Amino acid sequence: MNGINLKKVTLPFILLCLFFLPAVIRSPYYFHTLNMTLIYIIAASSLRTIALSGQISIAHAAFMAVGAYVSAILAKYLGWSPWVTIPMGGIAGMLAGVLVGYPLVRVRAIYFSMVSLFSGMAIVALIGVCQTYTGGDAGLIGIPPLPAIDLPWLPKIVFVTSKVNQYYFFLLLTMACLFFLHRVETSRTGTNWSAISQSYLVASSVGINEAKYRVMALAVGCFFAGIAGACYAHYTMTLTSSTFGFLPSINLLIYVLVGGVGNFFGPVIGTAVLVIIPETFRWLKEYVPFIFGGIMLIVAFLMPQGISGLVTQIKERIHRNSKNGEVVHRA
Amino acid sequence: MGSQLIAQTCVNVLMLASMYIMVAMGFALILSVLDVLNFSHAAIYTVGGYICYQLTVVVGMNQWLALVASTISVGAFGLFLEKFCFRPFITDMNRIIVITLALIVILTAGINVTMGSYIKRIPSFVSGVVKVGGVSISGERLATFIIGMLLLTGIMIIIKKTRVGLQMLAIAQDMEAAALQGIRTHRIAAVTTFIGCALAGVAGSLMGAVLSLSPYMGDLMLVKAIEIVILGGIGSIGGVLVGGLVLGAIDAVLPLYVSGYATELVGLGIIIVFLLFRPQGLFGRDKVRLV
């Protein structure tokens, strides 16, 4: 095993599997689950990007809501194409992130989390107040779905009737988003973020503008939250504000924490596990939350670094055991 | 506003405030003594209400006895929580957050499965109307407020005057220094969790009689508890009292003027703006925590 770089082999292998998945699975129901997973992977990964700068936001679903409602309203009332409104949703999410994030620079750590929680709830309440456009509690219905792509020298790609085509779209989008987030994380900006999260005093003493980089982290994270929300809107074609309230924000945080904050693929793994496994036990009906909670407890009790830290954890244990063995042998 | 409305609103403010303070007090005690952000606190509040409902309506126990029983059993659950969920992970914030969030999911689902998701109501503890100087006030709400006041006074006396309470305060200030002075930190942590959860249980039972019980009522209460603790300032007991009063006033008075989501929006707006100017809350003194 030592000669092979596991990471370099595993990632392309998993991607290959995901691309050929439609050859194995036929049921549109499974693809619905996968599509939702992909949308939430974008949201959870962007939440982790914000967390990199030391800001644990409990309002992320609210920024998804901003993107979702902006995109849905533009597409429904102004008749714009969803291909235009989805990036607009992202930009709206980003603007909301900056607007909320700029005053929040004053507060740090647990206070940031709490004020972000209130801000998120205020955003959702605002959506409820603007009933004429957002539909309030009754929900916004009749959002246009993703339109077909009709390029001249290619076959027409229809999204409305085919969950598989939607799956490919979301897969490509998720890969693009993850690629971008990874580039940002490994760039100088990402380094500055982790410096701020370790100690904002030291970071500002070496010339890192704390306020600028913290707002920037929120802007980047909320842009992708907005994209994810807009995709959600055009995918499900209905929106209610309760989809983005307090508990959904907490759920996103759970995905990140269960997957592991320390690893880039933590939120991906966390979302996949916590969406797909409870979904496969759907026949248990009201007992499904027990499985969700059970997974969380197992992870919390047995895996300190989250699921993504499991490999390192096992490696360390084997290493330690062999070392212990040596000591015993010498004695 | 007529005098009737003013009197009723005052009672509502005091009643809501005393319930909020009871939940927030436990939350704040656990937060400052154990350094644990116990998200499951409001789920425990819901469980307390449902235990009381089960004992009164289904088993047919005396109502006051049921209240005591539910309080003690919820407190015992707090002991279990401290021993197996908080103590082993006290240094690892992320894991405790995951555990407490998992508890919300599991407890809410547990209530949903065993009791059903319909709204339930505990019969009134005190019925009738109290007439004070020409205005009539719901006796139940008044009684709820009085019970809350008595319990809170008791807790305040315990914290400020008794040995256990002073030890709690010592641990809240500095865990290691307290341990060096010979305080058994784990035991005090257990007592704190017991008191905190028991208070939440009482509040749940009383709220179940005044308003109603639903498996998801904890979500709202959790947000309220967090709001109060942040508003009052972490580590300040007086802050919890004042924060609870402010929030009770906002929640009882605002619906008279604005409706539905607007209430929530205005209430949250007030709190956000306040916190932007004073992030440490009303009485939070430790700026160290801001780091």
pLDDT at A323: 66
pLDDT at A5: 59
pLDDT at B290: 37
pLDDT at A300: 85
Q: How far apart are CA A158 and CA A244, in angstroms?
A: 29
Indicate the range of A120-124, B121-125, B243-247 predicted with least confidence: B121-125
- Whether the pLDDT of residue B25 is over 70: the answer is yes
* Domains of chain B by residue range: 3-216
Binary contact (B276, A128; C-beta < 8 A): no
- Whether the pLDDT of residue A278 is over 80: the answer is yes
Minimal C-alpha gap between A46 and chain B (Å) = 18
Chain A contact for B272 (CB, 8 A cutoff): yes
pLDDT at A43: 92
Binary contact (A119, B272; C-beta < 8 A): yes
User: What confidence tens digit (pLDDT) does each residue in B45-95 have?
Assistant: 999 999 999 898 888 888 888 999 999 999 999 999 888 888 888 777 778
Binary contact (A300, B99; C-beta < 8 A): yes
Indicate the range of A98-102, A321-325, B88-92, B163-167 predicted with least confidence: A321-325
DSSP for chain B, please give it: --HHHHHHHHHHHHHHHHHHHHHHHHHHHHHHHH----TTHHHHHHHHHHHHHIIIIII---HHHHHHHHHHHHHHHHHHHIIIIIGGGTT-HHHHHHHHHHHHHHHHHHHHHHH-SS-B-PPPSS-SEEEETTEEEEHHHHHHHHHHHHHHHHHHHHHHHSHHHHHHHHHHH-HHHHHHTT--HHHHHHHHHHHHHHHHHHHHHHHHHHS-B-TTHHHHHHHHHHHHHHHH-TT-HHHHHHHHHHHHHHHHHHHHHS-THHHHHHHHHHHHHHHHH-TT-SS---GGGG-
Most confident of A113-117, B39-43, B263-267: B39-43
Minimal C-alpha gap between A294 and chain B (Å) = 7
Closest partner CB to B261 (pick from A104, A129, A300):
A129
- Whether the pLDDT of residue B286 is over 60: the answer is no
User: What confidence tens digit (pLDDT) does each residue in A163-175 have?
Assistant: 788 888 888 899 9
User: What confidence tens digit (pLDDT) does each residue in A194-246 have?
Assistant: 888 888 888 888 888 888 888 999 999 999 999 999 999 888 888 888 788 88
User: Higher pLDDT residue, A26 or A60?
Assistant: A60
Chain B contact for A299 (CB, 8 A cutoff): yes
User: What confidence tens digit (pLDDT) does each residue in B217-271 have?
Assistant: 888 888 888 888 888 887 778 888 888 888 888 888 887 787 777 778 888 888 8
Cα Rg, chain B, nearest whole Å: 19
Within 8 A of A309 by CB-CB distance, chain B residues are none
Binary contact (A289, B219; C-beta < 8 A): no
